[in-house]
Amino acid sequence: MMVLLVLLIGAQFFLGCGIAVRLQAVRTTYSLIGLSMLIGLGVSSFVPFIVQFSGLPIVASTVIGGVVGLAILSVFSLRSKKERLPFWAGRNDLAISLYEIPFLIVWLYLLFISVWKCNWFPNTTFDTIVGPDLLARFAVQEQTLVSSVFTKHLPNVSVFSNQPFYAPFTAMQQIMYLLATEQTGVFAFGKLWLTLLVFSFGLFLYADMRERIHPVLAGTLVTILAFAPELFAYTFLVQTDWANAAFFASGVILFQRYVETGQNGSFWSITLLLALACWTRTETIFFVPIGAMILVIKRIRVNPTDAIKQSAIFMLVCLLPVLFWNYGFLRTYMPLPINAHLGAFRWVETDYLTRLLRIVQNMNDRVVFHASYWNYTVPIFLSLSLLNLFIFRDKRGLTVLVWIVGVYVLFAMILQHVEGANIQYTFRRGFFKLLFLMCFYLSTTSLFRWLSIRLVVWEKTQTVKPAD
C-alpha cells in the first residue's frame, strides 16, 4: 500500500517538476517544490481519462502506471535543461532564518491537526459524498469512469443536484488515492491529496512572498490567512474549492510576475494554472477574461497583434478543460442522465440593478464581512490597502487589485444569472480565491515594500566594531 502511495506522490511531483522547470515558471527551490506538486496534482488528474479512453480498466496498475509514465517523460525532457533547476545552478536558497521558525511552528501546529482530521475521518460533507467521492468510490469499485452512478442510480432517482457533475479534479484525485491506498490503512479514505495540495500551495505562496518582501512580513501575511477559520476548515474537508482557489491564486501570482518581467515561460505557466483552475470549477472560466483584458492593455501599445493573439490563446486554453468535461465527457462520451439540469442561465428582465445591488449587499453581509468565517483577514486587508493607497498613491500591485475587484464583480453577475449559484455555498467557498489574492496583494504594495526595505537594511547593516 505504502509503495503505491509513495510511487504516486513521487510521480505527481516529478511530472509537475518537469513541466515547471521547462516553463521556467519560478526561480527559487521552495517555489519550485510547491509549484511542482500543484502542477503534478493538476495534470495527473487527466490520466484516468486517458486510461478510460484507451479502453483499459481503472485499476492501480493502469492509472498509477500512467502517472509514472508521464513523470518519466517529463523528467526525461529535462535532460538538456538541468541548469534551469535553481539548486543545479548553484543557488543555495534552502536556508531558513531563525526568525522564520516561530511562524513555521504556528503553521505546523495548525497543519498537524488538519492532516489528522483530513485523513482519519471518512468523507462526510454532503456535497462530497453525493458528488466527487460518489463518482470515485464507484469508479474504483467498477473499474470504469462510466459507473453505475451514471448509468443506473442517477437516471432512476427524482432528487439530485449538480454535485456529481462539477468537480472532475476532486473525483480524479480521490480515484487515484483510493487506488494507491487500496482503501486500507491510515489513508484509507483517499484524502491525502488535499493535504499535499494545501502544503504545496502554502509553500509556493510563502516562497513567492518571501522573494518580494522580508520573510517576517511574508510570515505575518500567511499567518493572518491561516487564522481564517472557514479557510482552515476546508483544508480537511474534501471539496473542490480549496484546490480551485490554490490553482487560481498561483496563476495570478505568476501573472503578476509576468506583468513585472515579461518572461515568456511565465505566460504558459499562468495559462496552465488558470486552465487547471477552470478544470477544478467550471465557473472560473468567467474570471479568465480579467487576465485576457490585462494582457491586452499591457501589450497593446507595444504590439497590438501580439497582444490580441496572446490573450486569445490564454482564453482558449482555459476553455479547453471546461469544454472537455462538460461537453466532451459528460455529453458526448457519456450521455447525461435525462433528468439532469445543469447550470441553466437566468435572464433578469426587471429591476436589474436593484436585484444586483441586493446581491452585492448580501455578499457583503453574509460572506465578506462575516467575521466568524475569516476572523480578521478582511478588515486587515482593507485597512492596510487603504493605508497604502493613502500614503503612497501609486500603482504598485494594481494588477492584483484589478483581479480582486474583477472576481468580486463577476461573482455578483454569476449569482444574478446562473441558476443554482448561491451566496451561502458558491460565493462563500469561491471567496477563498479572493482571500489568497488579498494576502498576495498586500505583499506587492509599496507599504510592504517600504517596511521590507527598512527591515532588510537594518538586518544587513554591518556596524564597524568600536575600538577597544
Cell representation of residue 450: 517600504
Among 13, 30, 46, 103, binds other proteins (CB under 8 A): 103
Among 85, 130, 315, 317, binds other proteins (CB under 8 A): 130
Among 27, 60, 72, 141, binds other proteins (CB under 8 A): 141
Among 79, 301, 393, 465, binds other proteins (CB under 8 A): 465
The secondary structure of 102-130, three-state, reads HHHHHHHHHHHHHHHHHHHCCCCCHHHHC
Q: Are 419 and 345 in contact (CB under 8 A)?
A: yes
Q: Does 156 bind other proteins (CB under 8 A)?
A: yes
Window 398-457: residues binding other proteins (CB under 8 A): 455
Q: Are 26 and 32 in contact (CB under 8 A)?
A: yes
Among 2, 57, 108, 122, binds other proteins (CB under 8 A): 122
C-alpha distances in angstroms, 145 versus 42, 44, 211?
A: 18, 15, 42
Q: Does 467 bind other proteins (CB under 8 A)?
A: no
Cell representation of residue 34: 510547491
Angle between helical axes of 2-22 and 264-280 (0-180°, round to 10): 140
Q: Does 155 bind other proteins (CB under 8 A)?
A: no
Among 55, 349, 458, 467, binds other proteins (CB under 8 A): 458
Q: Does 389 bind other proteins (CB under 8 A)?
A: no
Look up residue 27 and give its DSSP letter.
S
Q: Minimum distance from CB of 65 to other proteins (Å)?
A: 26
Q: Minimum distance from CB of 408 to other proteins (Å)?
A: 23
Q: Minimum distance from CB of 372 to other proteins (Å)?
A: 7
Among 50, 60, 75, 129, binds other proteins (CB under 8 A): 129
Q: Are 135 and 149 in contact (CB under 8 A)?
A: yes
Q: Does 383 bind other proteins (CB under 8 A)?
A: no
**Region from 147-155, 170-178, 314-322, 381-389 binding other proteins, contact rule CB under 8 A:** 147-155
Among 376, 382, 387, 394, binds other proteins (CB under 8 A): 376
C-alpha distances in angstroms, 426 versus 127, 166, 353, 430?
A: 12, 12, 21, 6
Among 220, 256, 280, 426, binds other proteins (CB under 8 A): 220
Q: Does 6 bind other proteins (CB under 8 A)?
A: no
The secondary structure of 253-319, three-state, reads HHHHHHHHHCCHHHHHHHHHHHHHHHHHCHHHHHCHHHHHHHHHHHHCCCCHHHHHHHHHHHHHHHH
Integer Cα distance of 406 and 26 in angstroms: 26
* 3 state DSSP class of 360: helix
Distance separating the N- and C-terminal Cα atoms of the chain: 66
Among 83, 306, 419, 459, binds other proteins (CB under 8 A): 459
Task: Convert residues 356-375 into a mask of x (bound to other proteins by CB under 8 A) and - (unbound).
Answer: ---------------xx--x
The residue (of 92 and 372) whose beta carbon lies closer to other proteins is 372
Q: What is the dihedral of CA 449, 455, 461, 465, to 10 degrees?
A: 170
Q: Does 92 bind other proteins (CB under 8 A)?
A: no
C-alpha distances in angstroms, 396 versus 104, 241, 259, 405?
A: 29, 29, 11, 16
Integer Cα distance of 327 and 337 in angstroms: 14
Q: Does 157 bind other proteins (CB under 8 A)?
A: yes
Integer Cα distance of 383 and 391 in angstroms: 12
Integer Cα distance of 463 and 205 in angstroms: 34
Integer Cα distance of 118 and 128 in angstroms: 13
Among 22, 27, 153, 396, binds other proteins (CB under 8 A): 153
Contacts of 434 (CB under 8 A, 6+ apart): 404, 407, 408
Task: Convert residues 158-187 into a mask of x (bound to other proteins by CB under 8 A) and - (unbound).
Answer: xxx--xx-------------------xxx-
DSSP string covering 440-456 = HHHHHSHHHHHHHHHHH
Among 72, 75, 85, 106, binds other proteins (CB under 8 A): 106
Q: Does 468 bind other proteins (CB under 8 A)?
A: no
Residue 21, classified by CB atoms within 10 Å of its CB into exposed (0-12), middle (13-18) or buried (19+), is buried
Integer Cα distance of 233 and 368 in angstroms: 17
Window 72-91: residues binding other proteins (CB under 8 A): none
Q: Does 24 bind other proteins (CB under 8 A)?
A: no
Q: Minimum distance from CB of 214 to other proteins (Å)?
A: 8
The residue (of 42 and 132) whose beta carbon lies closer to other proteins is 132
Q: Please work out the total of residues on this chain that contact other proteins, with binding judged by CB under 8 A.
A: 58
Q: Does 345 bind other proteins (CB under 8 A)?
A: no
**Region from 145-153, 329-337, 415-423, 429-437 binding other proteins, contact rule CB under 8 A:** 145-153
Q: Does 41 bind other proteins (CB under 8 A)?
A: no
Residues near other proteins (CB under 8 A): 97-103, 106, 110, 113, 116-117, 120-124, 126, 129-130, 133-134, 137-138, 141, 148-149, 153-154, 156-160, 163-164, 184-186, 188-189, 216, 219-220, 223-224, 227, 229, 371-372, 375-376, 455, 458-459, 462-463, 465
